């Protein structure tokens, strides 16, 4: 008799953890956290920045803004990963390095972490951060009509949830306010994590999974999406990315798949630090395309 499946073809937590723990198989997983923290410290000392700008009522709801040299610059908003329970905006200032060299203002979002708050609340905070950017980034030299969003891992999940927001109904903003979205190594069906090592921290149940699995709530949206993952990641990260790409396209939305050569879950976002990387090239091209045409 075959054992009951927890999720798809996975019968045990060990099988799910092997796919969804991105440190599995890495000789020194800590090297990536050290890289991000040290590089981020360098970025914060190299140029102007507005740090820990409040966007909401709680202490965790802040933004770090790295303005471009020229006013009226396009904007990229990055939501960090950490499986909703680790890291903060200060650990990912490094993503501004490559885009700043391309004349793009970069905003890095901080949010409260599980288990102190639920994924429902983290999703609300992500949406509130983008509403703040759209309403206020002009005061920091950014162009609110040319805002791209993105995220990594849990941050890609949150960016995908942001894309599904009812912006007009809930925020009084344009229905589709973003010029582009970059989703790197995201989790778009969070159901398997209920049976993983993460469950004691993130406390998933049927309602949380239903409300916060962007794979099953895709709406028609003209925002072009770049869906990327590292080629050295597990088969489930590739499958989740491909599934979201399919759902995005089936809703009539523009999408590009980008496997990142020789990258693991963590190094997949190194391209944000490099001005001539495929990630920075794609973002810059979409933001340039959103520039108003001169008459």
Cα(106)–Cα(96) distance, integer angstroms? 5
Burial of 271 (0-12, 13-18, 19+ CB in 10 A): buried
290 inside domain: no
Does a structural domain hold residue 98?
yes
Report CA dihedral (6, 8, 13, 19) to the nearest 10 degrees: -160
What are the structure tokens assigned to 44, written together?
Answer: 């914060």
Residue 1: inside a domain: no
> Is 140 inside any structural domain?
yes
Q: How far apart are CA 174 and CA 101, in angstroms?
A: 29
In the sheet that holds 62-66, the strands lie side by side as 50-54, 62-66, 105-109, 73-79, 142-152, 180-184, 225-230, 255-260
- The residues pairing with 226 across neighbouring beta strands, listed in sequence order, are 182, 256
Domain hosting 146: range is 13-285
pLDDT at 295: 37
Residue 295 lies in a domain: no
Distance CA 239, CA 204 (A): 21
Instruction: Please identify which residue in the block is written with the tokens 């590009």.
Output: 256
Model pLDDT, residue 108 = 98
d(CA 167, CA 186): 22
Q: Which of 65, 38, 37 is nearest to 51 (CA)?
A: 65
CATH number of the domain at 118, please. 3.40.50.1820
**Structural domain includes residue 5:** no
User: Is there a domain that residue 206 lies in?
Assistant: yes
In a domain, 280, yes or no: yes
* Residue 81, burial from CB neighbour count under 10 angstroms (0-12, 13-18, 19+): buried
Strands (E) located in 25-164:
50-54, 62-66, 73-79, 105-109, 142-152
Q: Per-residue confidence of the chain (295 residues) as pLDDT tens digits?
A: 677 999 999 999 999 999 999 999 999 999 999 999 999 999 999 989 999 999 999 999 999 999 999 999 999 999 999 999 999 999 999 999 999 999 999 999 999 999 999 999 999 999 999 999 999 999 999 999 999 999 999 999 999 999 999 999 999 999 999 999 999 999 999 999 999 999 999 999 999 999 999 999 999 999 999 999 999 999 999 999 999 999 999 999 999 999 999 999 999 999 999 999 999 999 999 999 999 875 3
Beta-ladder partners of 260 = 230
Q: Which residue bears the tokens 């700008």?
A: 53
- The DSSP code sequence of 215-241 is GG--------EEEEEETTS-HHHHHHH
What's the domain count of the chain? 1
């Amino acid at each position: 008799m075959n054992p009951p499946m927890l999720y798809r073809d996975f019968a045990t937590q060990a099988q799910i953890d092997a796919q969804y723990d991105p440190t599995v198989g890495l000789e020194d997983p800590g090297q990536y956290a050290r890289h991000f923290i040290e590089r981020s410290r360098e970025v914060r000392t190299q140029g102007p920045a507005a740090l820990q700008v409040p966007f909401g009522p709680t202490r965790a709801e802040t933004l770090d803004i790295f303005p471009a040299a020229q006013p009226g610059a396009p904007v990229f908003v990055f939501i960090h990963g950490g499986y909703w329970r680790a890291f903060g905006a200060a650990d990912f200032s490094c993503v501004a390095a490559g885009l700043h060299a391309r004349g793009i203002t970069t905003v890095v979002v901080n949010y409260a972490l599980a288990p102190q708050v639920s994924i429902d609340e983290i999703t609300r905070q992500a949406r509130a951060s983008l509403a703040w950017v759209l309403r206020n980034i002009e005061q920091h030299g950014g162009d609110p009509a040319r805002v791209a969003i993105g995220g990594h891992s849990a941050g890609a999940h949150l960016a995908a949830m942001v894309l599904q927001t009812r912006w007009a109904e809930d925020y009084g903003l344009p229905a589709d306010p973003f010029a582009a979205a970059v989703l790197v190594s995201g989790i778009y069906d969070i159901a398997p994590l209920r049976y993983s090592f993460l469950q004691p921290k993130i406390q998933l149940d049927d309602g949380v999974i239903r409300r916060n699995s962007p794979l099953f709530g895709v709406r028609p949206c003209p925002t072009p999406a770049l869906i990327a993952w590292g080629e050295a990641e597990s088969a489930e990260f590739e499958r989740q990315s491909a599934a979201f790409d399919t759902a995005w396209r089936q809703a009539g939305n523009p999408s590009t798949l980008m496997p990142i050569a020789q990258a693991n879950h963590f190094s997949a976002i190194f391209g944000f630090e490099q001005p001539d990387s495929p990630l920075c090239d794609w973002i810059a091209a979409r933001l340039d395309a959103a520039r108003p045409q001169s008459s």
